Every structure is written in structure tokens, then in C-alpha cells.
Chain A
Amino acid sequence: IMCASAKYNTRGPALIPRMKTKHRIYYITLFSIVLLGLIATGMFQFWPHSIESSSDWTVEKRSVHDVPVVKLPTDSPIPERGDLSCRMHTCFDVYRCGFNPKNKIKVYIYSLKKYVDEYGTSVSNTISREYNELLTAISDSEFYTDDVNRACLFVPSIDVLNQNVLRIKETAQALAQLSRWDRGTNHLLFNMLPGGPPDYNTALDVPRDRALLAGGGFSTWTYRQGYDVSIPVYSPLSGEVDLPERGPGPRRYFILSSQMALHPEYRSELEALQVENGESVLILDKCTNLSDGIPAVRKRCHKNQVFDYPQVLQESTFCVVLRGARLGQAVLSDVLQAGCVPVIIADSYILPFSEVLDWKRASVVIPEEKMPEMYSILQSVPQRQIEEMQRQARWFWEAYFRSMKAIALATLQIINDRIYPYAAISYEEWNDPPAVKWSSVSNPLFLPLIPPQSQGFTAIVLTYDRVESLFRVITEVSKVPSLSKLLVVWNNQNKNPPEDSLWPKIRVPLKVVRTAENKLSNRFFPYDEIETEAVLAIDDDIIMLTSDELQFGYEVWREFPDRLVGYPGRLHLWDHEMNKWKYESEWTNEVSMVLTGAAFYHKYFNYLYTYKMPGDIKNWVDAHMNCEDIAMNFLVANVTGKSVIKVTPRKKFKCPECTAIDGLSLDQTHMVERSECINKFASVFGTMPLKVVEHRADPVLYKDDFPEKLKSFPNIGSL
């Protein structure tokens, strides 16, 4: 079975025999394509060309009034009422959706018809502007299919957004005669204004059998959790009025109520709040004496003061959203748009998209009974949290409320996530505003684990041809108690590694991996041979590290398994003159990088380096034969948000800068190149992820006045 995404190459980097196979496959594929092409052309000669006489759909210029008319006989069947016990596993036919590599459901839209009863009177308005926008959005989305046989979800073009403008029985009959209705299985209806006088049901009254309902204004009794989708009541004002985002912070009013036609009981409670708390509470109502021509919806009044709506919402920290005759209120959308924190007072209301959105981060919900305590409750919210809620509110509006398109796509995504839960969008993706997504990090190694010491580490030595020095490194490293395996990456294609018998005899397994190309990134390949979590990358000329220093480094890594733990430290600095980053290797009081000529890190970062390195950094490093260590430092810091740990005092490394590359010396050009790397990587990452710290790790008793032989790591810092 082919997976669309999961490709984890467990073999080494392009080994030569594999290249051959690869090419052969390539040729065979090409050849078969040509053959297929031939067959296909041949077949076309005999294929009936009926599809070409295309349907009326392609006729672009059409009016909604030109759609076919369907007459509904009085006795045509009516679906059952909605089944309250429906859940995805009982009422939804998941077999229609199938397993597909994209993990996307297919949505079909029925073509638009005009329904009339036996007497020719129309059942409802053909289609509203909003429903047309919604269907257009679905049709333009990835979810859409025009093939009714491949569809997983069906969306009728019968507009039921507003129950008050349709005839319930006839609409139901119209639904029932849809070609794939089948008791409403896998059908999705969108409704924003449910119910009507006198009882104002909280869900659409049109009998709909098993159909899913995306409804605005569900109560917990009508909402079928995990089946229905709660959606906002769209506010058309959003399209008309452009409210620029206003920075979070204190605003003129603390609490504002802008709803009209509130029940007098609510209004008197609000007014009581105003009396108690004075100026900081503003209760608005409909304007009674507006001159003609000014739309009443765009003004609100308090006594004789007139305010522009929805602009006035931006003047308040909290905005009250009370239940009206229905639970869902369009004002919620306006309030969010204004970046005002909604105070939701509507018992049992299912908030829009509550299946995925964390409303606690964007709103305050207060039980109706507690309305008199509203002021004190809101005052207990910390200021910093208010600011975050303001940002969050605006973000919810931008992402999920601002247009019918946003509403439609969020709804389909929620249903999609239920059908393919393993590919579902995460909480963070739904809820974090872009600014947080941008600045936050989610550490892939988030569980605080101290790996068992017994596991040990794998040392990886990248070498080209300095055999003598390599053998010394191997001998030295093999003295470290926790070494469990040694891997030599032989990066020289022109020369064979020495014969087996010539290698030093050491107590742990020693493996030699030959590479196909002399690339620096070979050092960071997640070789199958690495069986431990900890990896020690070490250059073939680093012979001055003592066994104690290496063992201690490993112990420190165990305490910080998600960081780079290394010996020589380096720093990046901002060069104010040149206005760019600069690389620093002098004796500094700070570190932000460690060289991977001698560093411990988690094997996971090998995987990240090889498969997830952003941009062209990997190729850049291989082309320049430099800076693979800086790239690794960037990668780890970027993904974990944490600093490196430098261990043990500074000591004389023969030439730490030039270890990986022959013939390159510590001269000015080298430093310039390293600085270039930092600037290049910072631009690819779009940020400077490196963290500067002023500490290094030493053994607890380092340099303490204490008998050396009693110290765990006595031999540290010797030159």
C-alpha cells in the first residue's frame, strides 16, 4: 500500500549499487509511459465522443431565475424528523468516503432547482446571497467533486439558512426527492437561523432524517455531539464594514452591550450594572429618532448619544453577547471582528465550532444566573490575559467567521477530521493565532525523560583520509565507559578504508560506512547502525578530549537530551556597522553554538537534518563544504527553542575550525564564510533561532577544594 507522505529512507545516503536500480526504474517508467501513450491514442480513435456534447453546466452566463423548475406533488414523501441519537458510527455511511492518500473527503453539490408546489407557488427564495457564496466556496475548494458517485458528502442547493423564509413541509419534500437522499445519509444542511415563534427551536425544524446539520444556535439538547457542527450566525456587516485590527490594551469602556431588542429583564439587569459601575459600562439600544436614510443597523444610542455600529465595539474591552429569541447571535461575529472579548450569557448554547475551538482562550462564559456578578467576574481576569483574549477573538473572526467561505471550509474540515482522525488538524493549528504560531516552538522531544545511562552512545567519526589521526581518535574514544558503538563514516570515494586487520582493536563494535559522495551532510545521516538515542559527533583529529570529559559530556546530555551538548563553543553577534550577523570564535563570556567536531545530540536531529532541513541549507552546506555545524545548531535551536550546553572548560583544540575540511585554515576568509553562513541561515529560517547563554556545565565539584580521587570526573580541563 502506498502512503502519500510517510517516506522514511532507512538506507544510507545514495549508495552506488542503488543508483543503478534507480536509473533502471526510471527508464522502465519512461518506457511504459510511452507505451501507454500509444495505447491511449489508439483507443481514442474508437472512443465514442459523447462527452464532448457537454451539459448545460458549461454555459457561463446564466441567471438563478433560469434554473429548472421542479413541481412537488402534495403527497410526495416527507423525511422523518431529525434523529437525535444519530452519531457518525450509526447514521453516517463511512464507506462512501474510502481510504485515500490525501485524507480528504469528497463533497458533491446538487444543482440548483426551483421548487414549486402543486399550485406553482414557490417553496422558498431560490437561493440567498450567502448560501450562494457558501456553495461557491465549497465548489472552489479541494473538497469538491462533480462526480456524484465518488462523493462522500452531499450538499443540497436548497437554501435553509433561514428557517423563517421557507415552507417547512415543502422544503422537506424537496430534500426527500434529491437523487441520493437515502434518508439523508451523508447529507449536510447549513442553517443559521433555526426555529420560529412561539417556541424557537434551537435546531432547524425541517424534517431531515439522518442528515448532518451545520447549525447556528444549537443548545446542548439539540446538538448531536460529534455529528452536528455548530456554526456562527454570519453577520453581513463584516462584508460592508472594514474594521482595522486594533492593538490589544485598555479601552474606553470596560463592558459594552450593543444588542437591540433585548428582553426587558436582561436590559434592566444590565442597567443595574451601569448604575453600579458608572461610566465604564455602556448599555446601548436601538436609536428611536434617526433621520431617514440612515440604516438603523449602523447606529446605536444611549440616551441621546449616537454611536456608530459596529465601530463602537472597538471602544470596549468586553462586549456582552446575550441570548435573544435564539441562542446564536450575529453580534458575536461583530464583537470578535472588533477584537472585543465576548462575554457570552446564553445557558446551554453550543459555541460555534466548539468541537475544535478553545473558547476559553477568547471569551468569558457567564451563567445567566450570575449576570449581576458580571462586573466582578470580569475584573478578576488578569490584564495580560485580556490582551491575549482580544487578539484571540480577532483571530477567530479572521479565520472562521469573516466570510461564508471561512464558515463553509471550517465546517467541512471538522467533518473531514472526524472521518480521518489520524490526519486531523491539531489543536494548535486551529487555535493559535499566526503570531503565536510564528513565535512559539513545539519541541518534538517534549517529554521530560532522562535516558537510562545503560543505553550508552554511538560515536560517529567523519573521516576522509587521515587514517593515523583517525585511529588515535578511535583508541581514545573507546576508553569512554558509556560508548556502545563506533561508526566511521568513510567519506573518501577514491580510496578504500584500511583493511579490517589494521583497525585498532576496541571493546565495542566498530562499523565503517562508505558514502557515495564526499558530502558534509553524511555526518548527520540517521544511519540504521545508530541504535542509541545519543550520538557523539567527533572529528577525526579531536584527540585531546579526555575520557572523563567525554563521559561527563554524555552525562550532561542525559540531563538535556533535547539539546546540543558540545565542547568548543561559539557565538553569533550583531554587527551594527555592517548591519548583519557576525561569527565569533574569540574567548567570549557567552555561547550560542557548539561545534559538532565534538558534540553529543539526539539521533532525532539527524533525522531532522537529513529530511526536514528548511530551504536549500543542506545543499548549500554540501556545496560550500562548510558550516554543517552551524546549520545543525540553527536546526536544533529552532525546533526546541532552547540553547546549547557547552561542557567543560576551554582547552586548546589543535584547529577546531578546520577539522572537517582539509587545507582550510583559521584565516580571515574562513571567518567571513562562517559569518556568511549565519546570515544565510537566518534568512532561510526567517528568524534568528540561536539562544545566547552565559553558562557552561561542569561537574558538581569542579575546581572545588576536595580530594580529586573522590571526584567522579577528576580529569577535566587538562590541556
Chain B
Amino acid sequence: MQTRKKYIFLTFLASWLLLFFFGGDQLRRFGFFSKRKAEARRNWPRWTDRSLLKSFADPEELQSDGDPSLPSPQAQRAARLSVYKNSRCRMETCFDFSRCEKHGFKVFTYPRERDQPLSESYGKILTSIERSRYYTPNPEEACLFILSIDTLDRDHLSGQYVRNVDEKIRSFPLWNGGRNHLIFNLYSGTWPNYTEDLGFDIGQAILAKASFYTKSFRPGFDISIPLFSKDHPQRGGERGWLYQDSIPPKKKYLLVFKGKRYLTGIGSGTRNALHHIHNGKDIVSLTTCKHGKDWEKHKDVRCDKDNVDYEKFDYQELLHNSTFCIVPRGRRLGSFRFLEALQAACIPVLLSDGWELPFAEAIDWGKAAVVGNERLLLQIPSTVRCIHPERVLAFQQQTQFLWDAYFSSVDKIVHTTLEIIKDRLLPHRSRSRFLWNTLPGGLLALPDFSTHLGDFPFYYLQHGSSPSEKFTAFIRAVSLACSLSQPILRLIQAVSESQYCAQILVLWSCEKPPPPSRKWPQTAVPLTIIQGRRKLSDRFFPYTAIQTDAVLSLDEHTSLSTSEVDFAFVVWRSFPERIVGFPTRSHFWDAEQRRWGYTSKWTNELSIVLTAAAFYHRYPAGEGPAGWGARPHPAPPPRSLPRYYHSLFTEYLPAGLRELVDGLAACEDILMNVLVAAVTKLPPIKVTQQKQHKETVPQQVKGTAGAAGSRRFTQRQDCLNQLADWFGYMPLVSSQLRLDPVLFKDQVSVLRKKYPRLEKP
């Protein structure tokens, strides 16, 4: 080693000496020259008279840009209405906003006709709409109309192609040139050109179409939707396949493709070239020539070998084991593999020039996919290799979020479409791109509640803010006795002594009026009594009186100490998006009965926190400023649920189930827990409790506690199962932990402990 080092050093020295002797002169010149060269980088000149140059416009002209000879704004708007029609439609010229003012955003579906063929997919779309909170059976109220004619497949060679659509729609009295109509389409055009033609005149209708080509897309008017198969679930939907975040992404393959190679015709340009990037190692790009009946006619030299290789790999296996998936155009621009890759957390590498990406008006695809260029196919391998591992990790997580938020079921696809349209109606009450592209996503962050990020429980960290430092206690008094019992007085006292308590609200749901104010305890914080109706879900009533982010929900029978409240609130501030509470319950899968079980027994796990004593963010229970227009609630919503909760509730739950939940007093907690878990995908949090919480038994059933208790229990179990059935999965998540104060039951002097009272037996 040493000798070699010396040798190298000597050579090095010698070379420099040589260089100095022979090249010295040139070197100096070189130095001089390079200096000249730097000077000679021909930059834009610094003109000597640049300060004398005139401005591009006269300041006054800039400040008063008017022309008195122009027609009045109203006349201009009218002129635009007549000019910008059909292929040049925009919301302001082709959509009648006035229809949405009176009744809000209501969607009407044409009655289905018996003899009309209806594909499975279109049936699902109609079902989604009919179950949505925006549905109305009354065309008078409607803002948006959906045809019952199946327009999904407009390839006239297809069996599902519906003929004479033009004639049919012209006979509809509501058609009105397509104004305020929304038309869904998955396939347009046919061999050989696959044009964007639908085979009928859509007029001024909004088109929600898969494989949209930018040229025919009317920006801000049409909506690009993803292509989905007829097996796509109606609701719920499978979750994504990403179970772990690993860095570097330890997948077997870097980039994969397996699909048809078109030998001729539209789309063959890209598909024909895909095999070039195959390296057999970490990049697998397999094509087959076999498609259509007469593929052998166009067969080329590669076909035989390619067809053999093609069979060696399994598409699903590739999907599971690759970091990136090529999603090239097919005959049309979109393909099933787009959603497949998204679900598989295989980052889509899009090679589909001119494809208006699904929901691009809302979704920032740059965060979840690599938008490639068909012409630069050969650069793709090096491009994806150069993407940082951290970025890959972020891409993967984003694919999962988007899949779960907008694509995993027909319901989500349809609702996303509707919400995008709804956002256009009132631009000032619409979601910012941030809300669409951040967890939990646009369908769960309702702009009716607020458009301010700080009002939601999800964005504190990204927003650089923190939850409120005070809470509002909300006590519900429903006892039949209708007097101030000892427990409630003690509770008010305990809560009001908490240093974090801002106000106490008591909901008095009694026949009798509440006792006069002198009978209530004197508290350091404002105490407000609200008279309410006798309904359990009153708890979530949109009381504008709640002024803090945090709400402590309590029952009159709850027994809590100030320490417990203090500690629980401090914990909640670390987990503002979750329910933080004391008594808990859990759910489990009952394999024997093949249904979900519910238990109130002591278990090692928990998934439900009872709302008889729990902190949560006002968001799920709060009320935002007035929503769309002044929506006159036909009858004030039958359920006195808060707006956000209400909208989630009515959006997700079918009317039948909704009534059931409403009728079953026992379901309230479960519903709240299920909804919050569906939004956060996280379990609730249990905190230390001094004494075991007494199950709140409504007084009227006290006498027959046994029977009523078991009936109540069955009800809750039924409720759980119906909710799981509706969601298509079980949103509840279990937790194995409880949060205690740091020194809880440690062997130190109680004097050192901040919450000594929690340890009293």
C-alpha cells in the first residue's frame, strides 16, 4: 500500500512538473482566455439608457381601463350567453345557477323506464345519486338532472350501446337543451379512431367522462372521471395495498408493464415501443400481440417471443411487487390499470398525452403520479430511477389516500363528481386545493362547515397552529325528575373548577322548565342553560354557543373529578382529531355468528369511547356559517344533528338505517365513534379514570334494568352491524393502550405528582 501510494504521488508530481514546463505558457493563456470567455457569455445587455426607457403603458391608462363605447356589462353577459354554447360551454354561459338558489344543490334522476337497458355500472351510479344527501325526487327542486338513459358505453359496436338517444332526450320536457344536466360516459367513439363522439348531441349538458381528451374538454365545465369496471363496488370499497412505509422502497421491481401491444391503429405508437425499456431485471415491460380476432394478420417478428415471455409473469404479482407502474394509453386515453395501480400503491407513470386526468380540477396528480410524455418513453427508466426515496414514499402514501378518498367505490367517484360541481356554484364557499389533497380529503372536509383550515381538527400541524386552550363542557340533563340532583351539581362544580374550562352549557331536556338561576351553583365560568327537545342526539345539536374547538360531552349521571377533566383535556390537545374519553367499549368479530359483536365487559382492547364523558373537536358536532344560499330546511332536519355530522350522516347512511339509528337511542355513541374512525382511520383514546364509570341508565328503565339493559345491548349490537354493512367495512379501529399521567401509580411521593387525586382508590 505504502509503496503504491508513493508511486502514485511521484507520478502525480512528475506530471505537474511536465505540465508546468511544457504547457506553462499555454496555461497562462488558457487562464486569460477563460476569463475572457466568462465575460463573453452573452447576457442581455445593460443598456446605458435603460433608466430612460418608457414604461409599457401609461400609468393612467393602466389604472383606468375602461371604454365608454363598450356595451353595458349586462349586455356583454347576454352576448356571451349566445356565443359560448355547446362545445364552448362554461358554467356561466351554459348552467342556470338560479335553479340552485332556492332549494340548494339538489340532484334529480329521471325515472327509470322498465324497457330500457341499464348496465350494471350505470345502475350503480344512479343508486349512488339516489342515496346521496343531494337527491331529490322532485324535478321542480332540482339544480342538476341525471338521465336514466345509460350513456356509459357509446361505442356503437358494443352490446350496451343505446340507440336513438337523440330522439329520446328531445322528447323529455326537462331536457331544455341539456342545461343543468350531467351526463356520465365511460367509453366514446369506436374503432378505428375512437373519437370523443358520443353519438348524440349533449348540448349544454356537463359531461363527466372517462378518457377525456384535453382538446374536447371544456375547462371548468366538464369533469374527467376514472374508468372503472363493472365490478367496482357500490360503496365501502377495498382498501389500498400499502401496509408498510419502507425506505428505500424495497420492492422487487422498479417499473412494470404488462399488456397488449397494438400493432396498428391509434395508440399503437406508445404500446409498440414499450418493450424497448424491458431489461428483464428491475424493469419488466411485457406485451402481447394477442388481441382481437385477426391479430395474426398484423403479426410481426417480435410477436412469438413476446407472447411467450408475456405468459411468464402474472399481472397481479407485478402490481404487488413494483414501485412504479406504467399506465400507457390504450385505444382510448384512460385504462383500468390506472385505478389498479393506484390501489396497489404502484406509482402510476402516465404515458397518455392529452389525457385530462381524473378530477384534475380538484386533485393534484403531481403528488401521486409521474406524468410522463409519450414521446419521451425511453427516458422513463432514468427518470424514475432519479426520484428520491423520500419522494417515492410520499407518492406511495398519496396514492393510497387518493384511492381511499375518491376512487375505491362508485359512491366515492360519483360523490366527488357532484362535490366538484357544487364547489363551482359558490366559489367563495368551496374547497381550496389544499383541502382536496390533504387527509381526510374533500368528501370529508365540508366547506359548509368552514373554509378556514384552523376550524378543522385535521390540519393543525400542516397549518402551523394548535388547538384551543380551553374547552366547553356540555351537560345533558334528561332525568324525569326534572330537578337539580346531587350528581349534576357535583359534576358542574368539578368541571367548573378545571383551569381549562371556558363555559358550561346545560341542555335541559325536560317537560318542566329549568330551575331559576339562583338554584344553580355559582361557578367561575359562564353557565348557560338551553332548553332542548327530548331526544338523545340533541347532544350533537349545532349550538352556536360553543365557542371553543374542544367540547367535553357529559351526561348528568357522569361522575368526574377536576383532575380527571384536566388531564383528559391536556391529552386531547395532543390528539385533537380523536375522541378522548373515559369509559370505553369494544367490538370484535364473532366468528360463530358471522357478525360483529359488541361488548361492555372489561377487555384488553377498546374501540369505542362513550360520549357520556368524552372530549372531541367541535368539528364533528359543530355548526358552520350559513351554507349554500339560505337553504330552507323543508322541515328542520328531523335529526337535530349538527351540520357537519348531519351531512356526513345523511350522505353515508341510507334512509332506512338512518331512521333506525335515530330511533335507537342506544346507537348514538356508536355512530359518533364509527364516523370519527371512518374519517381519521384511528382508534379513540382512553384516559385514566379514578372510579369506574357508571353506565348511564336512563331513569325510566331503572326498575326493569335487567331486561331493558339486555334489549339495549342487542340494539347496540344490531346498530354496529348495520353501520358496518353500510360502510362496506368496519371503520372502528382497536387500541390496546390507555393514557395515564407520567407518574401514575409510580412509587414516588404523591407530593411530586401533578394528578394525585387520580390514584385514590
A446 to B353, CA, bound (A): 31
**At the interface, yes or no: A380 with Cβ under 8 Å from chain B?**
yes
Contact between chains at A646 and B66 (CB < 8 Å): no
In this complex, the member of A162, A364, A451 whose beta carbon has the largest number of chain B beta carbons within 10 angstroms is A162
Residues 62-92 of A contacting B (Cβ, < 8 Å): 62-65, 85, 87, 89-90
A221 to B397, CA, bound (A): 36
Name the residue of chain A whose CB is nearest to the CB of B23: A41
Residues 651-700 of B contacting A (Cβ, < 8 Å): 680-683, 686-687
Contact between chains at B742 and A198 (CB < 8 Å): no
Contact between chains at A422 and B370 (CB < 8 Å): yes
Of A159, A297, A367, the contact of B92 (CB 8 Å cutoff): A367
Q: Of the 9-residue stretches A1-9, A482-490, A493-501, A509-517, which lies at the interface with chain B?
A: A1-9
**At the interface, yes or no: A178 with Cβ under 8 Å from chain B?**
no
In this complex, the member of B65, B69, B682, B742 whose beta carbon has the largest number of chain A beta carbons within 10 angstroms is B65
Contact between chains at B744 and A448 (CB < 8 Å): no
Assess A449 versus B242: contact at CB under 8 Å? Given A146-B41, A297-B63, A384-B452. yes
Contact between chains at B371 and A421 (CB < 8 Å): yes
**At the interface, yes or no: A619 with Cβ under 8 Å from chain B?**
no
A703 to B688, CA, bound (A): 11
- Say how far A597's CB is from chain B's closest CB, in angstroms: 18
Chain A 688-719 interface mask (CB, 8 Å, partner B; 1/0): 00010111111111111010001111000100
Q: Of the 9-residue stretches A168-176, A435-443, A627-635, A662-670, which lies at the interface with chain B?
A: A435-443
Assess A427 versus B92: contact at CB under 8 Å? Given A197-B67, A591-B742. no
Q: What chain A residues lie within 8 Å of B604 (beta carbons)? A: 699-701, 710-713
Contact between chains at A128 and B215 (CB < 8 Å): no
A54 to B214, CA, bound (A): 48
Q: What chain A residues lie within 8 Å of B567 (beta carbons)? A: 694-695
Chain A 554-591 interface mask (CB, 8 Å, partner B; 1/0): 01100101000000010000000000000000011111
Name the residue of chain B whose CB is nearest to the CB of A366: B428
Chain B 605-641 interface mask (CB, 8 Å, partner A; 1/0): 1100000000000000000011000000000000000
Chain A 29-41 interface mask (CB, 8 Å, partner B; 1/0): 0110011011011
- Say how far B437's CB is from chain A's closest CB, in angstroms: 7
Name the residue of chain A whose CB is nearest to the CB of B626: A380
In this complex, the member of B247, B462, B605 whose beta carbon has the largest number of chain A beta carbons within 10 angstroms is B247
Contact between chains at A699 and B736 (CB < 8 Å): yes
**At the interface, yes or no: A455 with Cβ under 8 Å from chain B?**
yes
Q: What chain A residues lie within 8 Å of B70 (beta carbons)? A: 198, 200, 263, 325
Contact between chains at A440 and B463 (CB < 8 Å): yes
A302 to B452, CA, bound (A): 34
Q: Of the 9-residue stretches A207-215, A233-241, A244-252, which lies at the interface with chain B?
A: A233-241
Name the residue of chain B whose CB is nearest to the CB of A707: B602
Contact between chains at A556 and B92 (CB < 8 Å): no
Contact between chains at B53 and A364 (CB < 8 Å): no
- Say how far B275's CB is from chain A's closest CB, in angstroms: 19
A382 to B755, CA, bound (A): 38
Assess A365 versus B427: contact at CB under 8 Å? Given A330-B63, A440-B463, A444-B393. yes
A135 to B429, CA, bound (A): 40
Of B54, B88, B219, B736, the contact of A129 (CB 8 Å cutoff): B54
A1 to B385, CA, bound (A): 9
Of A136, A220, A441, A713, the contact of B462 (CB 8 Å cutoff): A441
- Say how far B205's CB is from chain A's closest CB, in angstroms: 18
Q: What chain A residues lie within 8 Å of B394 (beta carbons)? A: 444, 446
Contact between chains at A696 and B220 (CB < 8 Å): no
Assess A237 versus B59: contact at CB under 8 Å? Given A220-B220, A261-B64. yes
Of A54, A140, A220, the contact of B43 (CB 8 Å cutoff): A140
Assess A262 versus B90: contact at CB under 8 Å? Given A221-B84, A365-B428, A695-B739. no
A236 to B383, CA, bound (A): 42
Q: Of the 9-residue stretches A273-281, A468-476, A601-609, which lies at the interface with chain B?
A: A601-609
Contact between chains at B742 and A589 (CB < 8 Å): yes
Contact between chains at B245 and A602 (CB < 8 Å): yes
Of A130, A436, A447, A700, the contact of B397 (CB 8 Å cutoff): A447
Assess A604 versus B393: contact at CB under 8 Å? Given A144-B43, A711-B604. yes
- Say how far A168's CB is from chain B's closest CB, in angstroms: 16
**At the interface, yes or no: B192 with Cβ under 8 Å from chain A?**
no
Of B19, B393, B430, B452, the contact of A37 (CB 8 Å cutoff): B19
Of A31, A422, A646, the contact of B742 (CB 8 Å cutoff): A646
Name the residue of chain B whose CB is nearest to the CB of A421: B371
Q: What chain A residues lie within 8 Å of B42 (beta carbons)? A: 55, 57-58, 146
A424 to B50, CA, bound (A): 34
Residues 119-178 of A contacting B (Cβ, < 8 Å): 125, 127-132, 135-136, 138-140, 144, 146, 159, 161-162, 164-165
Assess A236 versus B62: contact at CB under 8 Å? Given A382-B455, A382-B625, A603-B246. yes
- Say how far B689's CB is from chain A's closest CB, in angstroms: 10
Contact between chains at A607 and B247 (CB < 8 Å): yes
Query: A-B pairs with CB below 8 Å: how many?
Result: 435
A229 to B639, CA, bound (A): 49
Residues 423-456 of B contacting A (Cβ, < 8 Å): 427-434, 437, 439, 450-455
Contact between chains at B738 and A700 (CB < 8 Å): yes
Contact between chains at B570 and A31 (CB < 8 Å): no
Q: Of the 9-residue stretches A44-52, A539-547, A676-684, which lies at the interface with chain B?
A: A44-52
Residues 237-282 of B contacting A (Cβ, < 8 Å): 242-248, 250
Name the residue of chain B whose CB is nearest to the CB of A455: B244
Q: What chain B residues lie within 8 Å of A330 (beta carbons)? A: 62-63, 65
Contact between chains at B687 and A555 (CB < 8 Å): no
Assess A367 versus B97: contact at CB under 8 Å? Given A57-B45, A62-B45, A360-B427. yes
A55 to B72, CA, bound (A): 56
Q: What chain A residues lie within 8 Å of B374 (beta carbons)? A: 89
A641 to B67, CA, bound (A): 54
A642 to B72, CA, bound (A): 57
Chain B 24-40 interface mask (CB, 8 Å, partner A; 1/0): 00110110010011011
Contact between chains at A5 and B741 (CB < 8 Å): no
Chain A 597-618 interface mask (CB, 8 Å, partner B; 1/0): 0000011100100000000000
- Say how far B574's CB is from chain A's closest CB, in angstroms: 6
Q: What chain B residues lie within 8 Å of A417 (beta carbons)? A: 366
A587 to B747, CA, bound (A): 10
- Say how far B682's CB is from chain A's closest CB, in angstroms: 6
Contact between chains at A589 and B754 (CB < 8 Å): yes
A598 to B651, CA, bound (A): 47
Assess A700 versus B605: contact at CB under 8 Å? Given A366-B427, A440-B464, A446-B397. yes
Assess A604 versus B245: contact at CB under 8 Å? Given A5-B386, A85-B215, A696-B744. yes
Residues 113-155 of B contacting A (Cβ, < 8 Å): none
Contact between chains at A702 and B738 (CB < 8 Å): yes
A429 to B27, CA, bound (A): 45
- Say how far B342's CB is from chain A's closest CB, in angstroms: 14
**At the interface, yes or no: B8 with Cβ under 8 Å from chain A?**
yes
Assess A34 versus B47: contact at CB under 8 Å? Given A365-B427, A702-B740. no
Q: What chain A residues lie within 8 Å of B366 (beta carbons)? A: 417, 421, 424, 426-427
A165 to B61, CA, bound (A): 12
Residues 729-752 of B contacting A (Cβ, < 8 Å): 733, 735-746, 748, 752
Name the residue of chain A whose CB is nearest to the CB of B401: A447
Contact between chains at B214 and A295 (CB < 8 Å): no
Assess A696 versus B740: contact at CB under 8 Å? Given A90-B354, A440-B462. yes
Assess A265 versus B430: contact at CB under 8 Å? Given A146-B43, A421-B371. no
12 A-B residue pairings within 8 Å (CB atoms)? A1-B382, A4-B386, A5-B386, A87-B215, A89-B375, A135-B44, A162-B57, A380-B626, A427-B364, A448-B680, A587-B746, A693-B570
Give 5 nearest A-B pairs by CB, closest first. A439-B464, A261-B66, A41-B23, A324-B65, A261-B64
Given contacts A388-B454, A693-B570, A695-B570, 19 further A-B contacts (CB under 8 A): A3-B382, A4-B386, A54-B36, A87-B215, A89-B353, A161-B57, A192-B57, A193-B56, A200-B67, A235-B62, A325-B70, A330-B62, A447-B400, A449-B243, A455-B244, A642-B574, A694-B742, A700-B603, A700-B735
